[in-house]
Each structure stands twice: as C-alpha cells, then as structure tokens.
Amino acid sequence: MSYALVTGASKGIGKAIAIELAKRKFDLLLIARSEQLLKSVTEEIQKLYSVQVKYLSLDLSDNNAAEQIYNWCRQNNYQVSILVNNAGYGLCGPFDTSSINELTNMMQLNMTTLVKLCHILLPMLKQQSKSYILNVSSTTAYQALPNMSVYAASKTFVLSFTRGLKHELKDTSVSVTCLSPGSTDTAFVERARITPKALEAAKKVNMTPEAVAKDGVKKMFAGKAEVISGGLNQLGAFMAWLLPKTMIEKIAGGIYK
C-alpha cells in the first residue's frame, strides 16, 4: 500500500490538497504541528472518503523533522508515492523588525525541511511505478518583495529548486511540480502579520484553498512543471517579468509597508 504524504495538512491549502487526494482514493499520511487539528482532519477524511489516514504531530521547522518523518514511515512500512511539501509561513514587515530566530526558523521550514524531505524520500519515490512531488511555492516567487524580503526569497528558492529537480528526474518514475498560489483564504495572513493595506489589495485576487488544491493536484497528475493558481495571478506573474523590476518592487513595497 502506498500513501500520499502531505505536510502542513491540518488546515488551509494542505488540508484541501489532502481532501482532493482522498477524493481520488489515495491513502494519506498527514503531518503538522497540531495533534488536535490533525486528529479532527483525519476523522473527517476517513468518514467522508473511506481511505486510510495516518497522522504525525511534528514541528516541521525542527532541524531533524525530515529524518523523523522518514523513520516513522520506515517503522510502519508506509510507502510514499506522492510527496506534498506544503508547510510554510511568511513574515511581513521591515527586515530588521523580525528577530533573526523568526527569520531562520521560517527559512528552515520553507526551504531546508522541504529539500531534506525530497532528498530522504526520493529513493522510496523512485521505487514506485509512478510517483509525484508537489512543492508549494507562492506568486511572491516571481519578484523581490520589500517588507516580505526573506519570505519571497525563500519561495523563489522553492520555485528554482523544483524546476531544476524536475529536469534531473525526467528519466525516472518521479514527476515534479511547483504550485504557486497567490492570496488565499487561510490563516497565513495572521501568522505573517499582513498589513490592512495588503489585505485590502489581496481581496481582488483571493482564492479558496479548495480551488488552489484542485488546480494544483490536477496539474501535478498532468505532469506540469509549474502551476500559478488563478488567471489574475498568472497575469501578475507575467507583468512582474515584463515590467522593470524597480517599478514592480516599488509598487509591491508600498502595498506591504
């Protein structure tokens, strides 16, 4: 029996991706910090979709999180055929107003744990007749973002790493996709301390977690390298590429100030 492993699965986009996979009758391994939320999501999915769901409560920003997940899988003989690296968070505000511990913790979760999970589970994924990696980035990956500089840079890393990895694995059974959502109705804005001005601007492009998940999962199975959720977000990424960087950065920095 093989499973789809989803990080950050207790709420938001992660939970929606787990449900989307359950609808397709994939058994699930769910990872997040909150055991209470994970237990609730597990019971909900099992009741509605009649699939096997196992969960592990774990702080994914811990330096040894990937190793703990791998050991859990091996000890219980869980074979992983889909890896969804969804867990991550942002911080809004001038660079020097966040503590270095906050910033490095975010970098650990957004980048290092993601890379470690890809690396440590790749041999298992290669053993499957067909397997998938879905790394969740952000539309902020397409531009520098003043007042969210480290977060945007971490998501640029995820995008670049995922595209490179896809080419490296093109002759294997592993398909790799990067999903880049824009503003989504999740708890992200609370932890990131998004400003009222930015929240108002986001209303124009806000999507539901369910819409993001449906699009991402569908295109993951289609073997797409890159998915930007929503037409307006796709246009925004194109404009960020087309227009002078200084102009885009000035506009974005003003929104998040």
Whole-angstrom distance, CA of residue 7 vs CA of residue 114: 9
Whole-angstrom distance, CA of residue 29 vs CA of residue 32: 10
Closest listed residue to residue 90, CA positions, set 76, 78, 105, 80: 105
Q: What token pair was written down for 38?
A: 């994970």
H or E element that contains 152: helix 149-168
H or E element that contains 228: strand 226-228
Catalytic entry in 49, 55, 132, 151: 151
∠ CA 85-76-44, nearest 5°, is 60
3-state helix, strand, coil in the chain (%, to 5): 55, 15, 30
Q: Does the annotation count 151 as an active-site position? A: yes
Question: Buried (b) or exposed (e) across 233-245, using 16+ Cβ within 10 A?
Answer: beebbeebeeeee
Whole-angstrom distance, CA of residue 45 vs CA of residue 16: 11
Residues 137/222/55/136 CA torsion (nearest 10 deg): 0
Whole-angstrom distance, CA of residue 241 vs CA of residue 238: 5
Catalytic site positions? 151
